[in-house]
Structure 1
């Protein structure tokens, strides 16, 4: 079974929070045991390293922090803006007039001005406050996108792990196959010298050995490619990988898979926040037709450097303004916001359909993978029985060398198919978890330091000033993030 079905259909997106999930009680810890030495790397180790080393996660965490800053900027628009201005002027020139008795007289004038200004929004129909709400909804949607990225990173790590395991096992089979056929060729040559078989039998064994060596070279290449994929997905080279235990339990029925997915999937949760932001956007557009009231204050000091001449003073202005006619722009903005809201609602509907479809498809793929694995186990068992029988009959002269080689090839093919079937079942199990929104570091209880998506927001959500204690603490956080 090929992997394309999960990469196209089951590429996950993911969800936070488990709600009444009886299906996941057996999930935690499942699939992370190792057969063999304790020094072998488990899937849990690979997933933890993928989580810690992912540049894609770091990139999208920065995107989320940038969205957090949008909230701070929106909050700042509700606060007074204090500014200053300063200028120094030197004027010089020459003039001739009746007052100077026709003489050219030079003049120099110097002045300096410094002033403060304060602007405070008093009322704008709630538009600015609603922009804060839009920014918050955008942050929540971006958090869900980060969760979706986390799911993709972890699923890719599962895929890389299983590919290395599958390629390693396939390589071992190919190596053993070369040894077996080499022995078959040696036996065929002995029997040819004794006159029991013809030169054709020897040629058939030689041809099959050449095919086996070519397949071995391909298996070596596949393993090298899988290791490179592992490095890209996990962030380090693979060591000796442990044999995974049974695949994790996710859902017992299609209905259960769909229900969990529609509660938890990040695509749906992100779309809901996008709809909420679009709804607020309509109200903001409508508020733009209302007047805006602003309070402004100015205070300044001007000195001309002539004896004791100076001027100081200020003003306080309460102003209101609003649109009367803007060429139809205001009405167009309102209509546009309504269309964007409708598009967001349609996006939520499509997300529900897509998530349900992917959950159903993922469940079906898992059932197919399980059936293929069970069939593969039977195939190996009966192919081995057939091979043992053919080899025994060949030793008595009842079977040809070609029949022995064909039987041996059937055993090899059955074992390779079983390796792929086991890998696909394992991958399908995790892909279904992703489609349900459950393939997260929290759900899998990975031994990694968790990234708290709300930590940065808590620092910047109230728009602290750079000179405040919270602002200095935020600077320390940013320096720490930069070193990670």
Structure 2
């Protein structure tokens, strides 16, 4: 009779243990997908907003550099009160002299315009350097976008992993509760000792502790998800198939060297440094400019007035400025050399990142295969030991050890199956392909050239272009 009751409990425990295999099955169509998480991360990232503002600031540097090649128009005005008191004539015999008094209030307005005609390309090189800096900043923005999306993948899979571990721990609690009940039944009929019951009680207490820890990990994973995606997670569905990656590491490295945003950003920085060298060299040459002015002077309470104007061609050159000009050339050369060295370092870092990403992906695949074999073996062992224990051939400790081994195997399998997605998307990031455009996410792709095209020519505030720019800035501030 005791054996029959124990076998019934065994069937219940085996059925409960099989629940864990349904954890990776897809859930309802209303669940949140990985693509939804990526869209949320792209749309809600404060870090992306911050660096888009940094890019807009770099765009303005182009307009500032171009302003050196445009006319400068300014005006001056003044209001002057003149007074004069004069005593003339008179004699030593106290004869009165002549007193004269003059009071004049005059105003003048002057309009002055100047234009740089030729500076041996100094301003033009500065403009081109600013453009290269804009391109470098755009690539930096792409690199940050990749980091944001990879973090979203990690957060998404982290929540799935934590939820599955909690489910496994809950199933483990049910199994151990049934095992404790069976141990007590067997103790009552004298089949086991009090020690077996105590072992089952201790294992159940340890399982409660493990469940509490897993629930804490789930809370932490959800908090990380909210930071990475911009909202709390709902019901998460099983992620889609793994993204396609290059078949060989060599091909992936070649792709990364050609298209990775970190490399392209440094390449533009090198180009900008070269242009700044040429600009600083040209600043040591003469400059030719044209200046024109027109002035109007009026005297109040008088018919006196004047008009004046002038146009001049000015040529000048700075011969000595305390060594500042030559020092600027040397500084820009040193910065160019530093950027070239940085380019070499970044290329090596990107190639190493590709190797590391592929190694991580291969390791994750191997872990999945190993964990699947481990789960199958642990299931067979658990079922066999449990049957033998029911017949008295195994102790309670053997059953508890087998159950713990099965739990560990399933936990390892869950971890491996979730982490392979992070590894696969890490490969995309390492090769520069983890962007909203490459992933074809259903989002409004940020166009870095839109703002640049509005500001590159420095539109006047009250012009049509300037008013359009004001509307764009108000929209950005509202967001």
Instruction: Please give the residue correspondences for 1:348-359 in structure 2 after superposition, counting only pairs within 5 Å.
Output: 348-359=343-354
Q: Distance in 1 between matches of 2:83 and 2:152?
A: 75
Match of residue 338, structure 2, among 339, 343, 356 = 343
Aligned equivalents of 2:427 and 2:162: distance in 1?
23
Aligned partners of 1:217 and 1:91: how far apart in 2?
90
CA distance in 2, matches of 1:297, 1:311: 17
Shift of residue 306 of structure 1?
4.0
Q: Using the alignment, how far apart are the partners of 2:446 and 2:191 within structure 1?
A: 72
Task: Please say if 1:97 is aligned against 2:92.
Answer: no
Establish whether residue 147 from structure 1 lines up as the match of residue 142 from structure 2: yes
For residue 83 of structure 1, report the CA deviation from its aligned partner: 1.2
Count, aligned residues: 451
**8 Å Cα contact 2:88/2:99 also seen in 1:** no
Distance in 1 separating the partners of 2:188 and 2:240: 50
* TM-score of the pair, normalised by structure 2: 0.91
| Deviation string, structure 1 residues 420-466 (Cα, Å, up to 9, x no partner) | 11122110000110010000001111011111111111111222222
In the alignment, the residues of structure 1 paired with residue 104 and residue 285 of structure 2 have an alpha-carbon distance, to the nearest angstrom, of 47
Task: Report the more deviating stretch, 300-309 or 398-407.
Answer: 300-309
Task: Name which of 291, 306, 309 aligns with 1:311.
Answer: 306
Pairwise CA distance, 1:108: 3.2
Partner Cα separation in structure 1 for residue 102 and residue 408 of structure 2: 104
How big is the shift at 1:104?
8.2
Structure 2 equivalent of residue 6 of structure 1: none
Q: How far apart, in 2, do the equivalents of 1:104 and 1:181 lie?
A: 121
Structure 1 or 2: larger helix share?
2
Secondary structure of the corresponding residue to residue 307 of structure 1: coil
Report deviation, 1:138. 0.5
Contact preservation (8 Å) 1:34, 1:40: no
Structure 1 runs (4+) greater than 3 angstroms displaced: 95-108
Distance 1:250 1:86 in 2: 69
Larger displacement relative to structure 2 (162-171 or 58-67): 58-67
Q: Is the 8 A contact 1:35 1:245 kept in 2?
A: no
2:404 corresponds to 1:409: yes
Is the contact made by 1:34 and 1:244 (CA closer than 8 Å) also made in structure 2?
Answer: no
Distance 1:121 1:34, change over 3 A: farther
Residue in 2 aligned with 1:447? 442
Identify which of 103, 127, 132 aligns with 2:127.
132
Unaligned runs of 5+ in 2: 1-23, 91-95
Higher RCO structure (Cα 8 Å, ≥6 apart): 1
Of 42, 45, 56, which residue of structure 2 is paired with 1:51?
Answer: 42
Aligned partner of 2:192 among 197, 202, 213: 197
Which runs of structure 2 are paired with 1:72-471 in the superposition (5 Å)?
Answer: 72-92=63-83, 95=85, 97-98=87-88, 101=96, 108-471=103-466
Please say if residues 119 and 296 of structure 1, whose CA atoms lie closer than 8 Å, have aligned partners that are also in contact: yes
Q: CA deviation at 1:36?
A: 2.7
Any stretches of 5+ residues in structure 1 without a counterpart? 1-32
Q: Tell me how far apart the structure 1 counterparts of residues 178 and 122 of structure 2 sit (CA, whole Å).
A: 84
How far 1:339 sits from its partner (Å)?
A: 1.1
RMSD: 1.7
- Separation (CA, whole Å) in 1 of partners of 2:448 and 2:118: 33
Take 2:243 and 2:357, find their aligned partners in 1: how far apart are those partners?
14
